[in-house]
């Protein structure tokens, strides 16, 4: 940590904060420059608000400082433009004092026992606490269970700051306070149909002033801010949204398995049901859940629910179905090979797509990783191709050490297994040149060939 001393801004009133936001003079810190934090930093910068990004990953700080990017959908030119408008990246927490608002976007994974791992949030809170000053707004954006902001983060901030500051709570006001809110991130990576600005931003303040400050700050980059009564209500809102997705995906995965048995095409059925103008929202089956959110977040709530002697049965059932999907995929590949009088053991299989969903460069919790491992366990000789990943090395739960296979001589593979339906793939060619195609995403829709097995 640097020993440099920094000027301490003197203003600590709510009205000063609001004026600074209005005049675009507020300084915003974004902690955690990943898939959530970096795009958020660019949104503020576009609105002429000066952002300082903080990250403990020195490589990310260096890349950004040199005008580069490490997220495929963010171009280096966008970083350079932002830098010209004052965006900077650092790992020096001493600079927190200079900021008016601090937004925390650090990871919230599960540990090996499927329990919430809040260590990134607690580490961040401990790191910023000594540098907090009165009047600052601290907003947590990381997805987490209801109560985290108030029960976990606030006590660390209060205990660790040098000036004995307390978080402003309903009814308390003495000028020696900082302000706290929770506001969930709702980004849908790869979705280009809704502009980020048009996704309403939910905000829950620990007290009404914090809510007002957070609403003003987010109002500069979002068209609509939705206020809820507390940080816990905002935390729960995010979980409801993700659990809703998780449960509905599990439902459709289960119905897909039944449909396969009944010789029905679930994709055709979903398309037909989607024509209903009310009361039905389509969800699609797949090879299993992936990403940082849907496979992880529901378990934050089921863990917390135990404290209240409550079993979240929908979450557990959905988890059970979704976690089993990669295993079903292996079964379908085995059956498809069987029709060709081949065994999984010894067959050459090309897994098409590694990312957890199409057109994104995110491998986290991807079902492709589990599928590759399961195929290997069965003795298959597995290669993969994904334009976003030249190599797949070691992650928290896998160690594959594979190189992206070129799309040549597709006939050499006994089976092409489509796990991720990237738009750039030429599905006509895949079907034409492969011996057998197992399609877990309906990517070959409209192509009629006996080589295709949809599952």
Ligand X SMILES: NC(=O)c1ccc[n+]([C@@H]2O[C@H](COP(=O)([O-])OP(=O)(O)OC[C@H]3O[C@@H](n4cnc5c(N)ncnc54)[C@H](O)[C@@H]3O)[C@@H](O)[C@H]2O)c1
Which residues participate in catalysis according to the annotation?
293
- Residue 105, interface with ligand X (CB under 6 A)? yes
Q: How far apart are CA 123 and CA 200, in angstroms?
A: 29
Q: How far is the CB of 40 from ligand X (least distance, A)?
A: 9
Please list every residue from 122 through 141 that binds ligand X, using CB under 6 A. Answer: 123-124, 127, 141
Site string for ligand X, 178-197 (x = CB under 6 A): -------x-x-x--------
Q: How far is the CB of 342 from ligand X (least distance, A)?
A: 39
Interface residue with ligand X among 17, 54, 332, 425 (CB under 6 A) is 54
- Residue 32, interface with ligand X (CB under 6 A)? yes
C-beta nearest to ligand X: residue: 34
- Residue 237, interface with ligand X (CB under 6 A)? no
Please list every residue from 142 through 161 that binds ligand X, using CB under 6 A. Answer: 142-143
Contact 63, 56 (CB under 8 A): no
- Residue 367, interface with ligand X (CB under 6 A)? no
Cβ neighbours around 282 below 10 Å, total: 11
Per-residue CA distances from 424 to 203, 348, 427, 428 (Å): 37, 23, 9, 12
Identify which of residues 36 and 351 has a Cβ nearer to ligand X in the complex. Answer: 36
Please list every residue from 250 through 289 that binds ligand X, using CB under 6 A. Answer: none
- Residue 227, interface with ligand X (CB under 6 A)? no
Identify which of residues 56 and 152 has a Cβ nearer to ligand X in the complex. Answer: 56
Q: What are phi and psi of 202, to 5 degrees?
A: -90, 135
Cα torsion at 448, 449, 451, 452 (round to 10°)? 10
Contact 132, 165 (CB under 8 A): yes
- Residue 17, interface with ligand X (CB under 6 A)? no
- Residue 361, interface with ligand X (CB under 6 A)? no
- Residue 100, interface with ligand X (CB under 6 A)? no
Q: How far apart are CA 419 and CA 372, in angstroms?
A: 10
**Span near ligand X by CB under 6 A; candidates 14-22, 100-108, 274-282, 322-330:** 100-108
Could you write out the DSSP letters of every residue in 260-284?
A: HHTT--HHHHHHHHTT-SSS-----
- Please give the structure tokens belonging to residue 276: 């209903």
Per-residue CA distances from 396 to 22, 312, 391 (Å): 43, 27, 16
- Residue 293, interface with ligand X (CB under 6 A)? yes
Q: How far apart are CA 232 and CA 393, in angstroms?
A: 38
- Residues near ligand X, by CB under 6 A: 31-37, 54-57, 60, 105-108, 120, 123-124, 127, 141-143, 185, 187, 189, 292-293
């Amino acid at each position: 940590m640097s020993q440099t001393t920094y000027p301490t801004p003197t203003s600590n009133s709510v009205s000063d904060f609001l004026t600074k936001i209005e005049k675009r003079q507020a300084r915003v810190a974004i902690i955690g420059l990943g898939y959530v934090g970096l795009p958020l930093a660019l949104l503020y910068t576009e609105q002429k608000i000066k952002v300082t990004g903080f990250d403990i990953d020195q490589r990310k700080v260096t890349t950004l400082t040199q005008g580069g990017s490490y997220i495929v959908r963010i171009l280096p030119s966008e970083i350079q433009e932002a830098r010209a408008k004052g965006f900077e990246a650092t790992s020096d927490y001493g600079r927190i004092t200079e900021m008016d608002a601090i937004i925390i976007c650090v990871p919230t994974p599960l540990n090996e026992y499927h329990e919430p791992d809040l260590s990134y949030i607690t580490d961040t809170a401990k790191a910023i606490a000594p540098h907090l000053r009165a009047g600052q707004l601290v907003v947590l954006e990381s997805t987490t269970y209801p109560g985290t902001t108030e029960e976990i983060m606030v006590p660390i901030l209060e205990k660790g700051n040098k000036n004995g500051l307390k978080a402003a709570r309903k009814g308390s006001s003495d000028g020696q306070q900082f302000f706290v809110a929770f506001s969930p991130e709702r980004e849908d990576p790869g979705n280009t149909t809704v502009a980020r600005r048009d996704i309403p931003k939910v905000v829950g303040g620990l007290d009404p002033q914090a809510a007002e400050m957070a609403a003003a700050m987010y109002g500069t980059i979002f068209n609509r801010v939705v206020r809820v009564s507390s940080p816990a209500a905002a935390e729960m809102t995010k979980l409801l949204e993700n659990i809703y997705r998780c449960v509905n995906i599990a439902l459709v995965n289960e119905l897909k398995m039944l449909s396969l048995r009944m010789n029905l095409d679930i994709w055709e059925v979903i398309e037909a049901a989607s024509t209903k103008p009310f009361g039905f929202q389509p969800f699609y089956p797949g090879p299993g859940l992936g990403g940082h959110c849907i496979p992880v977040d529901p378990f934050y709530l089921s863990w917390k629910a135990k404290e209240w002697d409550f079993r979240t049965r929908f979450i557990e059932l959905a988890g059970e179905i979704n976690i089993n999907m990669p295993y079903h995929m292996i079964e379908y590949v085995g059956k498809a090979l069987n029709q060709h009088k081949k065994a999984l053991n010894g067959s050459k299989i090309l897994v098409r797509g590694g990312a957890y969903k199409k057109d994104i460069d995110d491998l986290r919790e991807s079902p492709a990783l589990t599928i590759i491992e399961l195929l290997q366990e069965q003795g298959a000789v597995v290669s993969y191709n994904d334009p976003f990943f030249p190599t797949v090395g070691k992650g928290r739960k896998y160690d594959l050490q594979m190189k992206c296979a070129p799309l040549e001589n597709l006939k050499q593979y006994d089976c092409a297994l489509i796990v991720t339906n990237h738009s750039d793939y030429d599905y006509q060619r895949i079907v034409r040149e492969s011996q057998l195609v197992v399609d877990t995403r309906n990517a070959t829709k409209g192509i009629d060939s006996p080589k295709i097995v949809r599952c």
